[in-house]
Amino acid sequence: MKNGAKKPDLVVFNEETQQYDAALKPYGTSASAPAIKPLNTATWRNDGVIRVNKKIKSEFEEVKKQYEMLMEKFHYNDLVYNSKFNFEPNIGEIYHLYQGKNQDNFLSIIHPDQCNFEYLGSFRLNSDKMWEKSDVSN
């Protein structure tokens, strides 16, 4: 304050603007003003927690599904690349995987309808040289 006198606590005086500004405050400034009560935010908070948990669970399920698909691709590629074959597979072609009598897996161009070995699946070699599980009817 300019004159150094301190105003009583009940007086609302703005030191920066040097004005009485009780009417400009967004809250009550006298003892007869309505009481300031905290809002009940429990409902809002619970709604937020539920929404966040659903979102995180949904994202987790998507990542889990992507992981499972990636592991399946890994398994197929590991299975086919570790099998025996005496030819260079062509990109885009479908080959059939069998288990021989000696329990070794081998890759063949022979369709499952024409083979007596245990059929393990049909696979297509894509342009990235990754084996993709294929429908035998292709």
Would you say residue 35 lies in a domain? no
Q: Per-10-residue mean pLDDT for the chain, 138 residues long?
A: 61 77 73 76 89 96 97 96 94 94 92 92 95 80
Domain that holds residue 72: 42-134
pLDDT of residue 138: 47
> Which contacts (CB < 8 Å, 24+ apart) does range 104-108 have?
105/79, 107/80, 107/83
User: What is the pTM (predicted TM-score) of this model?
Assistant: 0.60
In a domain, 115, yes or no: yes
**Residue at 109 is within a domain:** yes
Residue 21 Cα distances to 32, 34, 101, 126, angstroms: 17, 18, 96, 76
The answer as to whether 11 is a domain residue is: no
Q: How many domains does the chain have?
A: 1
pLDDT for residue 64: 97
What is the Cα–Cα distance from 120 to 114, expressed in whole angstroms?
A: 14
67 lies in a domain? yes
Given a contact cutoff of 8 angstroms between Cβ atoms, the answer to whether 105 and 98 are in contact is yes
Task: Decide: residue 121, CB within 10 A, 0-12 exposed, 13-18 middle, 19+ buried.
Answer: middle
Domain membership of residue 95 (yes or no) is: yes
> Residue 59's pLDDT is what?
97
Residue 61 domain flag:
yes
Q: Is 51 part of any domain?
A: yes
